[in-house]
Amino acid sequence: MPSENIKIIEGDLSVRDLRVACVAARFNDFIVEPLLRGALDALGRHGVGKDGIDVVRVPGAFELPIVVRKLAASGRYDALIALGAVIRGDTPHFDYVAGECAAGLARIALDSGVPVAFGVLTTDTVEQASDRAGGKAGNKGADAALTAIEMVALLRKLAT
């Protein structure tokens, strides 16, 4: 089957009139704040105005899903960006928080139909987290913002 006969539908980064909420955990804020700055910068560079962005703060990554669910149900947002950092320690706390956070956010996206971009770092060390929050591994907050924009564009294309 020649590829020129296949219809490809994908999102892009040229969405207009976007309403986004960034939900940012305060725990590990020395990591989360650079993620938030990266997300806000990426949104701005792609045409999302300040009036189209809300920032909501939660205590930690475990609290992200309940707030993201409330925002998804509000109907006010085209996409939600969850930002946090769960860094492995010497106890199994990491496994519970990281797993429940990821599962909860995925379930909200599926149940609500509102894209939830996962910008929650789950790392073994502070160094790994720093590398992903604007260090040598880029900024995963910016990546999550780009994912949110692309998903909105894709879902809009699929709706037409």
Burial-class residue 110 by CB neighbours within 10 Å (0-12, 13-18, 19+): exposed
> Which entry of 16, 26, 45, 93 is annotated as an active-site residue?
93
Interior CA angle at 63 toward 156 and 22, to 5°? 40
Give catalytic status of residue 93 as yes or no. Answer: yes
How many C-alpha atoms does 88 have within 13 Å on its Cβ side?
8
Structure tokens at 142: 């910016």
List active site positions.
93
